[in-house]
Amino acid sequence: MPNPFTPIIQGMKITLSHLFKKPITLMYPEVKPKVAERFRGLHALKVSHNKAKCVACYLCPTVCPAKCIRVEAGEDENHDKFAAVYEIDMLRCIFCGYCVEACPVDALKMTGEFELANYHRKDFLFVKERLLEKK
Amino acid sequence: MDNVILGLPMYYYVAMVAKVLVAFVFVLLSVAYATYAERKIIGHMQVRVGPDRTGPMGLLQPIADGLKLFFKEEIVPGESNKLAFLLAPFIALVPAFLTFAAVPFGNTIEVMGYKIPLQIAAYYDTGMGKVVDLNVGVLYILALASLGVYGIVLAGWSSNSKYSLLGGLRASAQMISYELAAGFAIIPVFMLAGSLSLHEIVKAQEGFRWFIWSNPMTFVGTFLFYVCALAEINRTPFDLPEAETELVSGFCTEYSSMKYAMFFMAEYANMVTVCAITATMFLGGWDGPFSSTIPILSPIYFVAKVYFLMFLTMWIRATVPRYRYDQLMSLGWKVLLPTALCLIVLTAIAGSLGFNTFFG
Q: What is the pLDDT of residues B144-200, one digit of tens each?
A: 888 888 888 888 888 888 888 888 888 888 888 888 888 888 888 888 888 888 888
ipTM for the predicted complex comes to 0.72
**Chain A residues lying within 8 Å of B41, measured CB to CB:** 19
Residues whose CB falls within 8 Å of the CB of residue A43, separated by 6 or more in sequence, listed in order: A88, A93, A99, A100, A108, A109, A110, A111, A126, A131
State how far the alpha carbon of B21 is from the alpha carbons of B15, B18, B101, B275, B317, in Å.
10, 5, 11, 20, 31
Of A11, A22, A27, the CB nearest to B319: A11
The pLDDT of residue B132: 74
Across the A:B interface, residue pairs with CB atoms under 8 Å apart total 35
Residue A64's pLDDT band (cuts 50, 70, 90): very high
Tell me if A31 sits within 8 A of B52, measured CB to CB: no
Per-residue pLDDT of chain B (360 residues; tens, 9 = 90+): 457 777 767 777 787 888 888 888 888 888 888 889 998 999 888 888 888 888 888 888 888 888 888 888 888 888 888 888 888 888 888 888 888 888 888 777 777 777 777 777 777 777 777 777 778 888 888 888 888 888 888 888 888 888 888 888 888 888 888 888 888 888 888 888 888 888 888 888 887 788 888 888 888 888 889 988 888 888 878 887 776 677 777 777 888 888 888 888 888 888 888 898 898 888 888 887 877 777 778 888 888 999 999 999 999 988 888 888 888 888 888 888 999 999 899 888 888 887 777 766
Is residue B123 in a domain? Answer: yes
Tell me if B205 sits within 8 A of B287, measured CB to CB: yes
DSSP string, B202-218: HHHTTTT--HHHH-HHH
Q: What is the pLDDT of residues A7-44, one digit of tens each?
A: 888 888 988 888 888 888 888 888 888 889 899 999 99
Q: Which of residues 314-353 of B touch A (CB under 8 A)?
A: 315-316, 318-320
CA distance A42 to chain B (A): 29
Which of A19, A24, A27, A30 is the best mutation test for B, with the most CBs of B within 10 A? A19
Strand bridging mode A47-48 / A69-75: unpaired
Is residue B14 in a domain? Answer: no
Q: What is the pLDDT of residues B228-277, one digit of tens each?
A: 888 888 887 888 777 667 777 777 788 888 888 888 888 888 888 889 88
Is residue B53 in a domain? Answer: no
Residues whose CB falls within 8 Å of the CB of residue A117, separated by 6 or more in sequence, listed in order: none
Which ranges in B53-161 belong to alpha helices (H)? 61-70, 82-98, 137-158
Is residue B213 in a domain? Answer: yes
For residue B53, the SS3 value is coil
Tell me if A53 sits within 8 A of A105, measured CB to CB: yes
Of B48, B49, B320, the CB nearest to A11: B320
Which ranges in chain B belong to alpha helices (H)? 10-45, 61-70, 82-98, 137-158, 162-185, 187-193, 198-204, 211-214, 216-232, 244-247, 257-282, 298-319, 325-330, 337-352
Distance of CA B258 to the CA centre of its chain: 22
Work out the number of other CB atoms within 10 angstroms of the CB of residue A116: 14
Is residue B299 in a domain? Answer: yes
CA distance A1 to chain B (A): 13
Is residue B12 in a domain? Answer: no
Tell me if A95 sits within 8 A of A70, measured CB to CB: no
Residues whose CB falls within 8 Å of the CB of residue B13, separated by 6 or more in sequence, listed in order: B5
State the pTM of this model: 0.82
> What's the rounded Cα separation, in Å, for the pair B208 and B284?
7
Of B47, B316, B320, the CB nearest to A23: B47
Put simply, whether B53 touches A (Cβ < 8 Å) is no
Q: Which domains does chain A have, with CATH numbers?
A: 32-131 (3.30.70.3270)
Question: What is the residue range of B212's domain?
Answer: 77-352
Is residue B18 in a domain? Answer: no
CA distance B312 to chain A (A): 10
Count of domains forming chain B: 1
Closest residue of chain B to A19, computed from CA coordinates: B45
Tell me if B92 sits within 8 A of B269, measured CB to CB: no
Q: Kindly tell me the burial class for residue B50, based on how many C-beta atoms sit within 10 Å of its own C-beta (0-12, 13-18, 19 or more).
A: buried
> What's the rounded Cα separation, in Å, for the pair B158 and B168?
10
Please provide residue B279's backbone torsions phi and psi, each rounded to the nearest 5 degrees: -60, -40
Please provide residue B108's backbone torsions phi and psi, each rounded to the nearest 5 degrees: -75, 125
HSE of A60, CA atoms in CB hemisphere, 13 A = 30
The pLDDT of residue B111: 74
Is residue B100 in a domain? Answer: yes
Cβ separation B44–A23 shorter than 8 A: yes
CA distance B42 to chain A (A): 8
Q: What percent of chain B shows pLDDT beyond 70?
A: 97
